[in-house]
């Protein structure tokens, strides 16, 4: 539904490794900010290469992780990645993307029909033949997993709860994040195309009438009452190529800022906080973490 690494690098899926490498180097030169290139495209090129830079990574992508835009993890060298792995991770609870993956497999079996054996449910060619609803379910599962990787890198000062129940699995909150910058309710979405903003909501042909910010606000209201907490922000996380800007603040709902943000900008938003919002810490942070930890339920 969204651009694949092959699309970003401008090569065919059947391209050789040498062809991929040459395309990457060319795209890197053309998009580099120091030579007048677009920073967003430059980052996209690096992330694309990270998914196909070795035979192992390319095989994993082609086996199913590249059906939609699972291309949000920032590019780093192997040395930088190794250094990063030694740092304490954020506290994490729940199984990101787990419910949607199970939902995807259930939908796929129902669509294929009883008695039909599916050799590889994540085969890209097979998944592309499925209805949009099923492909969207898998796209969202992959988006949730990408967001979870970003959230884990925030460090030990943050706590994350994934797949949080508000009473109905279809109305879950993908991630609840607590840190010095506040308490956030999040949905990770991949609609498979660009979106824009109108009257405090995301719109676009790819949404097919869905209202993600309205849905998130409704779910956050339920959870806020259950846990006796107030959210600092309601955030919809989208692929980098879905928004023209890395972050768009749409307004507020019951005192919580409503925001659409790209995957690559999410960590910066959570570290810096929402402009104008007060930081939290000390006893307040401990109290909120206790309330959420004691009251949260998972789907």
User: Is 80 a domain residue?
Assistant: no
* CA distance linking residue 107 with residue 79, whole number of Å: 41
Burial letters 286-297, b for 16+ CB under 10 A, else e: eebbebbeeebe
201: pLDDT strictly greater than 70: yes
User: Is 213 a domain residue?
Assistant: yes
Question: How confident is the model at residue 198, as a pLDDT?
Answer: 93
Q: How many other C-beta atoms can be found within 10 angstroms of the C-beta atom of residue 266?
A: 26
Q: How many other C-beta atoms can be found within 10 angstroms of the C-beta atom of residue 21?
A: 15
* CA distance linking residue 196 with residue 182, whole number of Å: 26
Q: Which of 97-106, 116-125, 160-169 has the lowest mean pLDDT?
A: 116-125
Question: How confident is the model at residue 63, as a pLDDT?
Answer: 76
CATH number at residue 58: 1.10.287.110
Q: Are 176 and 186 in contact (CB under 8 A)?
A: yes
Q: Is 199 helix (H, G, I), strand (E, B) or coil?
A: coil
User: Is 83 a domain residue?
Assistant: no
State whether 197 and 286 are in the same domain.
Answer: yes
User: Is 71 a domain residue?
Assistant: no
150: pLDDT strictly greater than 60: yes
State whether 106 and 180 are in the same domain.
Answer: yes
Task: State the average pLDDT over residues 147-176.
Answer: 94
Question: How confident is the model at residue 252, as a pLDDT?
Answer: 93
Most confident of 9-13, 83-87, 234-238, 263-267: 234-238
Q: Please measure the distance between the N-terminal and C-terminal CA atoms of the chain and give it in whole angstroms.
A: 26
User: How many percent of the chain have pLDDT more than 90?
Assistant: 53
Task: State the average pLDDT over residues 250-279.
Answer: 91
State whether 52 and 163 are in the same domain.
Answer: no
State whether 56 and 127 are in the same domain.
Answer: no
Question: How confident is the model at residue 32, as a pLDDT?
Answer: 66
Task: State the average pLDDT over residues 145-161.
Answer: 93
Residue listed under structure tokens 């062809």:
19
CA proximity to 292, closest of 220, 213, 215, 187: 220
- The last residue of one of the domains, among 14, 34, 66, is 66
Residue 64: pLDDT band by 50, 70, 90 thresholds? low
User: Is 82 a domain residue?
Assistant: no
**Between the CA of residue 144 and those of 29, 49, 141, 189, what are the distances in Å?**
31, 21, 5, 8
Q: Are 58 and 51 in contact (CB under 8 A)?
A: yes
State whether 25 and 138 are in the same domain.
Answer: no
* CA distance linking residue 175 with residue 146, whole number of Å: 12
User: Is 17 a domain residue?
Assistant: yes
Residue 62: pLDDT band by 50, 70, 90 thresholds? confident
CA–CA–CA angle 6, 9, 14 (5° rounding): 40
State whether 137 and 45 are in the same domain.
Answer: no
Residue 70: pLDDT band by 50, 70, 90 thresholds? very low
**Domains contained in the chain, number:** 2
The domain of 29 spans: 5-66
State whether 177 and 52 are in the same domain.
Answer: no
Question: How confident is the model at residue 39, as a pLDDT?
Answer: 67
State whether 131 and 230 are in the same domain.
Answer: yes
pLDDT per residue as tens digits for the range 27-49 = 877 876 555 667 678 778 878 88
State whether 15 and 159 are in the same domain.
Answer: no
More confident residue, 116 or 265: 265
CA proximity to 195, closest of 2, 41, 45, 4: 2
More confident residue, 161 or 53: 161
pLDDT per residue as tens digits for the range 117-131 = 888 888 888 888 999
Q: Are 101 and 34 in contact (CB under 8 A)?
A: no
More confident residue, 255 or 27: 255
State whether 137 and 202 are in the same domain.
Answer: yes
Residue 217: pLDDT band by 50, 70, 90 thresholds? very high
More confident residue, 275 or 1: 275
Question: How confident is the model at residue 71, as a pLDDT?
Answer: 39
State whether 165 and 51 are in the same domain.
Answer: no
Q: Are 218 and 231 in contact (CB under 8 A)?
A: no
136 φ, ψ (degrees, to nearest 5) = -65, -40
Q: Are 90 and 66 in contact (CB under 8 A)?
A: no
Mean confidence (pLDDT) of the chain: 86
* CA distance linking residue 233 with residue 173, whole number of Å: 13
State whether 36 and 98 are in the same domain.
Answer: no
CA proximity to 243, closest of 233, 235, 231: 235
Q: Which tokens in the block code for residue 106? A: 């259930």
Q: Is 71 helix (H, G, I), strand (E, B) or coil?
A: coil
Model confidence, pTM: 0.72
User: Is 74 a domain residue?
Assistant: no
User: Is 81 a domain residue?
Assistant: no
């Amino acid at each position: 539904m969204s651009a694949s690494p092959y699309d970003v690098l401008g090569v065919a899926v059947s391209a050789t490794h040498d062809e991929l490498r040459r395309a990457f180097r060319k795209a890197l030169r053309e998009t580099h900010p120091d030579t007048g290139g677009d920073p967003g495209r430059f980052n996209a090129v690096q992330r694309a290469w990270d998914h196909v830079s070795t035979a192992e990574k390319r095989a994993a992508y082609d086996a199913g992780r590249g059906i939609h835009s699972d291309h949000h993890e920032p590019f780093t060298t192997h040395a930088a990645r190794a250094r990063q792995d030694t740092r304490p991770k954020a506290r994490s609870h729940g199984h990101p993307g787990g419910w949607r993956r199970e939902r995807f497999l259930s939908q796929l079996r129902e669509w294929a029909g009883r008695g039909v054996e599916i050799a590889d449910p994540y085969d890209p060619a097979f998944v592309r033949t499925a209805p949009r609803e099923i492909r969207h379910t898998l796209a969202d599962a992959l988006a949730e997993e990408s967001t979870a990787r970003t959230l884990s890198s925030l460090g030990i000062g943050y706590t994350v709860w994934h797949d949080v129940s508000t009473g109905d699995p279809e109305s879950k909150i993908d991630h609840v994040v607590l840190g010095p910058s506040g308490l956030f309710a999040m949905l990770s979405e991949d609609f498979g195309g660009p979106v824009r903003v109108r009257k405090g909501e995301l719109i676009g042909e790819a949404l097919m009438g869905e209202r993600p910010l309205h849905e998130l606000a409704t779910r956050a209201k339920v959870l806020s009452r259950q846990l006796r907490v107030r959210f600092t922000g309601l955030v919809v996380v989208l692929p980098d190529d879905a928004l023209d800007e890395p972050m768009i603040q749409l307004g507020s709902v019951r005192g919580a800022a409503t925001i659409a943000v790209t995957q690559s900008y999410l960590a910066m938003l959570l570290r810096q906080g929402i402009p104008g919002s007060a930081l939290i810490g000390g006893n307040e942070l401990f109290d909120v973490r206790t309330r959420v930890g004691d009251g949260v339920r998972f789907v």
